[in-house]
């Protein structure tokens, strides 16, 4: 009995580590796929990319992205792990298309700088979330409320610019303020989401299919944290062309 208990305690951290490694591998693969698609379109199909960026097709792609995220979030338990992973890969590729026009707006050096800073912040906050013994649930709940506030502010900005004649200077100022608030929000969410992924693994451990599904959803969650962190840092730090 004592040996069995000690063995379980020894194996548990290893199982968590394997699961988290899989989550981060999926997440890193998604970011790499996004970057590859964005780079390919900008480097080899700039005219097509410009047409997409300035046409209603862009809104359709964004709607498709949202559809994939909501579908995965609400139907993950009914999907085969391979199907869920394929949908995550498809979402990452779609995101590469919708993010590629940023290369027309910001210099390559600015994009690289924002990416490196985002990667460093993400790594630091995720490591904190993984190693801390303190529960981050209260912080996570507060940050999610802040996130919905940011979403509402971005919606007001988009509608104001598109339909209500919001001036460029006002829109730019509002965008700057939103990004200034968004960076600490997504940095904090990175820590909370990392801890939450560990907690979810504890609930599904022993069920291979559910563990695989949890790895995909964890990767999607951290992917969204990183991409949003990168975008808002780029808006704050980026040098426009």
> What is the separation, in whole angstroms, between the first and last Cα of the chain?
67
Number of H helices, E strands in the chain: 9, 0
pLDDT at 4 over 60: no
At 188-228, the pLDDT tens digits run: 999 999 999 999 998 887 888 999 999 999 999 999 999 99
Higher pLDDT, 169 or 11: 169
The pLDDT of residue 175:
86
Quote the pTM value: 0.90
User: What distance in Å separates the CA atoms of residue 61 and residue 172, rounded to the nearest whole number?
Assistant: 24
Helix (H, G, I), strand (E, B) or coil at 240: strand
Helix (H, G, I), strand (E, B) or coil at 56: coil
The pLDDT of residue 163:
65
Closest CA to 47 of 106, 100, 112, 122: 100
At 117-168, the pLDDT tens digits run: 999 999 999 999 999 999 999 999 999 999 999 988 888 877 766 666 666 7
Chain mean pLDDT for the chain:
89
Look-up: residue for tokens 């959803």? Answer: 217
CA atoms within 13 A on the CB side of 13: 6
User: What distance in Å separates the CA atoms of residue 180 and residue 186, rounded to the nearest whole number?
Assistant: 11
Domain ranges of the chain: 2-237
The pLDDT of residue 147:
92
pLDDT at 36 over 70: yes
């Amino acid at each position: 009995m004592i040996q069995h208990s000690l063995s379980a305690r020894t194996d548990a951290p290893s199982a968590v580590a394997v699961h988290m490694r899989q989550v981060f591998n999926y997440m890193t693969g998604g970011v790499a796929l996004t970057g590859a698609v964005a780079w390919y379109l900008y480097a080899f199909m700039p005219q097509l990319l410009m047409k997409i960026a300035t046409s209603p097709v862009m809104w359709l792609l964004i709607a498709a992205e949202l559809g994939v995220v909501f579908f995965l979030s609400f139907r993950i338990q009914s999907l085969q792990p391979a199907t869920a992973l394929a949908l995550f890969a498809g979402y990452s590729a779609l995101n590469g298309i919708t993010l590629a026009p940023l290369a027309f707006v910001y210099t390559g050096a600015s994009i690289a700088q924002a990416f490196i800073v985002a990667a460093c912040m993400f790594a630091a906050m995720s490591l904190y979330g993984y190693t801390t013994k303190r529960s981050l649930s209260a912080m996570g709940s507060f940050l999610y409320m802040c996130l919905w506030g940011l979403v509402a502010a971005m919606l007001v900005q988009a509608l104001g610019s598109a339909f209500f004649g919001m001036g460029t200077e006002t829109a730019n100022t509002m965008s700057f303020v939103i990004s200034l608030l968004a960076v600490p929000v997504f940095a904090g969410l990175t820590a909370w989401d990392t801890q939450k992924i560990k907690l979810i693994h504890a609930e599904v451990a022993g069920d291979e299919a559910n563990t695989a599904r949890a790895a995909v959803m964890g990767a999607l969650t951290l992917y969204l944290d990183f991409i949003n962190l990168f975008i808002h840092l780029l808006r704050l730090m980026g040098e426009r062309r």
